[in-house]
Amino acid sequence: MIAAQRLGDWTSRAPEMEEDVALTNIALDQLGAARLLLTYAGELEGAGRDEDALAYLRDDREFRNCLLVELPNGDFAVTVAKLFFLSAYQLPLYAALAGCGDERLAAIGAKARKESAYHLDHASLWVRRLGDGTAESHRRMQAAVDQVWPYVHELFAPFPGAPVDPTTLRAAFDAAVDPVLAEATLARPADGWAPAGGRDGLHTEHLSYLLTEMQVLHRAHPGAQW
Protein backbone atom coordinates (compact mmCIF):
# COMPACT_ATOMS: atom_id res chain seq x y z
CA MET A 1 0.00 0.00 0.00
CA ILE A 2 2.83 2.37 0.80
CA ALA A 3 4.38 1.55 -2.59
CA ALA A 4 1.04 2.40 -4.24
CA GLN A 5 0.92 5.70 -2.37
CA ARG A 6 4.37 6.68 -3.60
CA LEU A 7 3.70 5.59 -7.21
CA GLY A 8 0.38 7.44 -7.23
CA ASP A 9 2.33 10.66 -6.73
CA TRP A 10 3.76 10.25 -10.24
CA THR A 11 0.36 10.58 -11.85
CA SER A 12 0.47 13.51 -14.32
CA ARG A 13 4.21 13.98 -13.61
CA ALA A 14 5.81 11.17 -15.62
CA PRO A 15 8.42 11.84 -18.34
CA GLU A 16 6.15 10.43 -21.06
CA MET A 17 2.39 10.04 -21.32
CA GLU A 18 2.79 6.31 -21.84
CA GLU A 19 4.76 6.18 -18.59
CA ASP A 20 1.99 8.05 -16.79
CA VAL A 21 -0.33 5.24 -17.77
CA ALA A 22 2.18 2.55 -16.77
CA LEU A 23 3.07 3.96 -13.34
CA THR A 24 -0.56 4.60 -12.47
CA ASN A 25 -1.35 1.09 -13.59
CA ILE A 26 1.34 -0.38 -11.33
CA ALA A 27 0.12 1.76 -8.42
CA LEU A 28 -3.34 0.34 -9.01
CA ASP A 29 -2.02 -3.24 -8.96
CA GLN A 30 -0.09 -2.64 -5.75
CA LEU A 31 -3.13 -1.07 -4.15
CA GLY A 32 -5.32 -3.97 -5.28
CA ALA A 33 -2.99 -6.53 -3.68
CA ALA A 34 -2.79 -4.42 -0.52
CA ARG A 35 -6.57 -4.30 -0.24
CA LEU A 36 -6.86 -8.08 -0.50
CA LEU A 37 -4.10 -8.61 2.07
CA LEU A 38 -5.42 -6.00 4.51
CA THR A 39 -8.96 -7.33 4.27
CA TYR A 40 -7.73 -10.83 5.01
CA ALA A 41 -5.50 -9.60 7.86
CA GLY A 42 -8.50 -7.84 9.39
CA GLU A 43 -10.54 -11.03 9.19
CA LEU A 44 -7.78 -13.09 10.77
CA GLU A 45 -7.42 -10.56 13.56
CA GLY A 46 -11.14 -10.80 14.25
CA ALA A 47 -11.34 -7.38 15.87
CA GLY A 48 -13.67 -5.91 13.27
CA ARG A 49 -11.04 -3.88 11.45
CA ASP A 50 -11.53 -3.69 7.68
CA GLU A 51 -9.04 -2.56 5.02
CA ASP A 52 -9.78 1.09 5.70
CA ALA A 53 -9.43 0.80 9.47
CA LEU A 54 -6.03 -0.82 8.92
CA ALA A 55 -4.93 1.70 6.29
CA TYR A 56 -6.25 4.91 7.79
CA LEU A 57 -6.35 4.42 11.54
CA ARG A 58 -2.94 2.95 12.34
CA ASP A 59 -0.01 5.20 13.25
CA ASP A 60 3.43 4.79 11.75
CA ARG A 61 4.65 2.71 14.70
CA GLU A 62 1.97 0.16 13.80
CA PHE A 63 2.86 -0.08 10.12
CA ARG A 64 4.90 -3.12 9.08
CA ASN A 65 5.99 -2.16 5.56
CA CYS A 66 9.61 -2.50 4.53
CA LEU A 67 11.64 0.72 4.51
CA LEU A 68 12.29 0.47 0.75
CA VAL A 69 8.74 1.40 -0.25
CA GLU A 70 8.46 4.45 2.00
CA LEU A 71 11.58 6.14 0.61
CA PRO A 72 10.74 9.33 -1.28
CA ASN A 73 10.31 9.06 -5.06
CA GLY A 74 13.39 11.11 -5.93
CA ASP A 75 13.99 11.46 -9.66
CA PHE A 76 12.68 8.94 -12.19
CA ALA A 77 15.81 6.78 -11.74
CA VAL A 78 15.24 6.41 -7.99
CA THR A 79 11.63 5.42 -8.62
CA VAL A 80 12.74 2.89 -11.23
CA ALA A 81 15.38 1.45 -8.87
CA LYS A 82 12.82 1.07 -6.06
CA LEU A 83 10.31 -0.58 -8.37
CA PHE A 84 12.95 -2.85 -9.87
CA PHE A 85 14.13 -4.19 -6.50
CA LEU A 86 10.62 -4.38 -5.08
CA SER A 87 9.22 -6.36 -8.00
CA ALA A 88 12.27 -8.65 -8.11
CA TYR A 89 11.44 -9.49 -4.49
CA GLN A 90 7.66 -9.62 -4.90
CA LEU A 91 7.68 -11.96 -7.90
CA PRO A 92 9.26 -14.94 -6.07
CA LEU A 93 7.37 -13.99 -2.90
CA TYR A 94 3.95 -14.09 -4.56
CA ALA A 95 4.95 -17.20 -6.53
CA ALA A 96 5.79 -18.95 -3.26
CA LEU A 97 2.58 -17.69 -1.65
CA ALA A 98 0.60 -19.05 -4.59
CA GLY A 99 1.77 -22.50 -3.56
CA CYS A 100 1.30 -22.11 0.19
CA GLY A 101 -1.22 -24.04 2.26
CA ASP A 102 -3.44 -21.09 3.12
CA GLU A 103 -6.08 -20.91 0.39
CA ARG A 104 -6.74 -17.19 0.64
CA LEU A 105 -3.04 -16.31 0.55
CA ALA A 106 -2.53 -18.72 -2.32
CA ALA A 107 -5.27 -17.01 -4.34
CA ILE A 108 -3.85 -13.57 -3.62
CA GLY A 109 -0.36 -14.81 -4.51
CA ALA A 110 -1.56 -16.30 -7.79
CA LYS A 111 -3.16 -13.00 -8.84
CA ALA A 112 -0.34 -10.76 -7.65
CA ARG A 113 2.37 -12.92 -9.21
CA LYS A 114 1.16 -12.12 -12.72
CA GLU A 115 1.13 -8.43 -11.93
CA SER A 116 4.61 -8.56 -10.37
CA ALA A 117 5.99 -10.21 -13.50
CA TYR A 118 4.73 -7.25 -15.53
CA HIS A 119 6.15 -4.76 -12.99
CA LEU A 120 9.54 -6.48 -13.10
CA ASP A 121 9.58 -6.47 -16.92
CA HIS A 122 8.70 -2.81 -16.99
CA ALA A 123 11.26 -1.80 -14.35
CA SER A 124 13.98 -3.96 -15.95
CA LEU A 125 13.43 -2.28 -19.29
CA TRP A 126 13.86 1.15 -17.73
CA VAL A 127 16.97 0.08 -15.78
CA ARG A 128 18.52 -0.99 -19.10
CA ARG A 129 17.36 2.11 -20.95
CA LEU A 130 18.64 4.50 -18.32
CA GLY A 131 21.81 2.54 -17.49
CA ASP A 132 22.74 2.07 -21.14
CA GLY A 133 21.22 5.31 -22.45
CA THR A 134 23.12 8.60 -22.19
CA ALA A 135 26.03 9.49 -19.88
CA GLU A 136 23.63 11.53 -17.78
CA SER A 137 21.06 8.77 -17.45
CA HIS A 138 23.79 6.26 -16.63
CA ARG A 139 25.10 8.51 -13.87
CA ARG A 140 21.61 8.98 -12.42
CA MET A 141 20.71 5.29 -12.64
CA GLN A 142 23.92 4.21 -10.92
CA ALA A 143 23.37 6.80 -8.19
CA ALA A 144 19.81 5.57 -7.72
CA VAL A 145 20.89 1.92 -7.45
CA ASP A 146 23.58 2.89 -4.95
CA GLN A 147 21.13 4.92 -2.90
CA VAL A 148 18.42 2.26 -2.74
CA TRP A 149 20.57 -0.89 -2.46
CA PRO A 150 21.05 -0.84 1.35
CA TYR A 151 17.29 -1.14 1.81
CA VAL A 152 17.19 -4.41 -0.15
CA HIS A 153 18.69 -6.46 2.68
CA GLU A 154 15.70 -5.98 4.97
CA LEU A 155 13.53 -7.81 2.43
CA PHE A 156 15.39 -11.08 3.02
CA ALA A 157 15.89 -10.95 6.79
CA PRO A 158 14.53 -13.99 8.63
CA PHE A 159 10.94 -13.50 9.77
CA PRO A 160 9.70 -16.18 12.15
CA GLY A 161 6.11 -17.18 11.50
CA ALA A 162 5.93 -15.70 7.98
CA PRO A 163 4.06 -17.93 5.50
CA VAL A 164 7.13 -17.78 3.24
CA ASP A 165 10.66 -17.71 4.68
CA PRO A 166 12.15 -14.49 3.21
CA THR A 167 15.67 -15.94 3.19
CA THR A 168 14.58 -18.44 0.50
CA LEU A 169 13.72 -15.60 -1.91
CA ARG A 170 17.21 -14.18 -2.21
CA ALA A 171 18.46 -16.51 -4.94
CA ALA A 172 15.56 -15.67 -7.28
CA PHE A 173 16.09 -11.98 -6.56
CA ASP A 174 19.78 -12.16 -7.47
CA ALA A 175 18.99 -14.15 -10.59
CA ALA A 176 16.57 -11.44 -11.75
CA VAL A 177 18.66 -8.44 -10.75
CA ASP A 178 22.27 -9.30 -11.61
CA PRO A 179 21.90 -9.86 -15.37
CA VAL A 180 19.84 -6.70 -15.80
CA LEU A 181 22.39 -4.60 -13.92
CA ALA A 182 25.14 -6.12 -16.08
CA GLU A 183 23.26 -5.46 -19.33
CA ALA A 184 22.56 -1.94 -18.14
CA THR A 185 26.34 -1.48 -17.63
CA LEU A 186 25.67 -0.76 -13.96
CA ALA A 187 27.81 -1.91 -11.03
CA ARG A 188 26.13 -3.98 -8.35
CA PRO A 189 26.77 -2.02 -5.14
CA ALA A 190 28.85 -3.57 -2.37
CA ASP A 191 26.88 -4.88 0.58
CA GLY A 192 27.41 -3.06 3.85
CA TRP A 193 25.04 -0.77 5.63
CA ALA A 194 21.72 -2.62 5.98
CA PRO A 195 19.05 -0.43 7.55
CA ALA A 196 16.05 -2.35 8.89
CA GLY A 197 13.20 -2.04 11.34
CA GLY A 198 10.15 -1.65 9.13
CA ARG A 199 8.76 -5.05 10.10
CA ASP A 200 8.93 -3.98 13.75
CA GLY A 201 7.28 -0.63 13.15
CA LEU A 202 10.57 1.25 13.33
CA HIS A 203 10.53 3.37 10.21
CA THR A 204 12.44 6.16 8.53
CA GLU A 205 11.36 9.73 9.15
CA HIS A 206 9.52 9.68 5.82
CA LEU A 207 6.61 7.44 6.76
CA SER A 208 4.87 9.72 9.21
CA TYR A 209 4.59 12.47 6.59
CA LEU A 210 3.26 10.01 4.05
CA LEU A 211 0.60 8.76 6.46
CA THR A 212 -0.33 12.28 7.54
CA GLU A 213 -1.26 13.09 3.98
CA MET A 214 -2.86 9.73 3.24
CA GLN A 215 -5.02 9.68 6.38
CA VAL A 216 -5.96 13.35 6.77
CA LEU A 217 -9.43 13.27 5.25
CA HIS A 218 -10.46 9.91 6.66
CA ARG A 219 -9.41 10.92 10.17
CA ALA A 220 -11.18 14.28 9.92
CA HIS A 221 -14.56 12.53 9.59
CA PRO A 222 -14.59 9.73 12.16
CA GLY A 223 -16.98 6.94 11.31
CA ALA A 224 -18.13 8.47 8.01
CA GLN A 225 -18.83 6.38 4.89
CA TRP A 226 -17.23 7.33 1.58
Partner 1 sequence: MYGNDFPAPDDAPGGGLLGEVAAAEAALREAAARRRGRAPDPDTDLEAYFADVIDADQKIEPRDWMPEAYRKTLIRQIAQHAHSEIIGMQPEGNWISRAPSLKRKAILLAKVQDEAGHGLYLYAAAETLGISRDELVRLLLDGRQKYSSIFNYPTLTWADVGVIGWLVDGAAIVNQVPLCRCSYGPYARAMIRVCKEESFHQRQGYEILHVLAHGTPDQKAMAQDAVDRWWYPSLAMFGPPDGDSTHSAQSMAWKIKRFSNDELRQRFVDMCVQQAEILGLTLPDPALRWNDERQAYDYTQPDYDELMRVIKGQGPCNRQRMEHRRHAHADGAWVREAATAYAANQAEKKEKVAA
- Rule CB under 8 A: which of 137-156 touch partner 1? 137, 140
| From 100, 175, 182, 217, residue interacting with partner 1 (rule: CB under 8 A) | 217
> Is residue 31 a contact point for partner 1 (CB under 8 A)?
yes
Looking at the Cβ atoms of 202 and 216, the one nearer to partner 1 is 216
- Residue 102 makes CB contacts below 8 A (sequence gap 6+) with 163
Q: Note whether 203 and 64 are within 8 A (CB).
A: no
- Residue 60 makes CB contacts below 8 A (sequence gap 6+) with 201, 203, 207, 208, 211
> Is residue 193 a contact point for partner 1 (CB under 8 A)?
no
d(CA 60, CA 201): 7
Looking at the Cβ atoms of 131 and 166, the one nearer to partner 1 is 131
> Is residue 177 a contact point for partner 1 (CB under 8 A)?
no
Helix, coil or strand: residue 202: coil
Residue type, 226: W
Quickly list DSSP for 146-160.
Answer: HHHGGGGGGGGS--T
| From 2, 3, 35, 164, residue interacting with partner 1 (rule: CB under 8 A) | 35
Q: Note whether 184 and 130 are within 8 A (CB).
A: yes
> Is residue 73 a contact point for partner 1 (CB under 8 A)?
no
**Chain residues that interact with partner 1, rule: CB under 8 A:** 1, 4-5, 8-9, 11-21, 24-25, 27-28, 31-32, 34-36, 38, 51-52, 55-56, 75-76, 128-130, 132-134, 136-137, 140, 213-214, 216-218, 221, 224-226
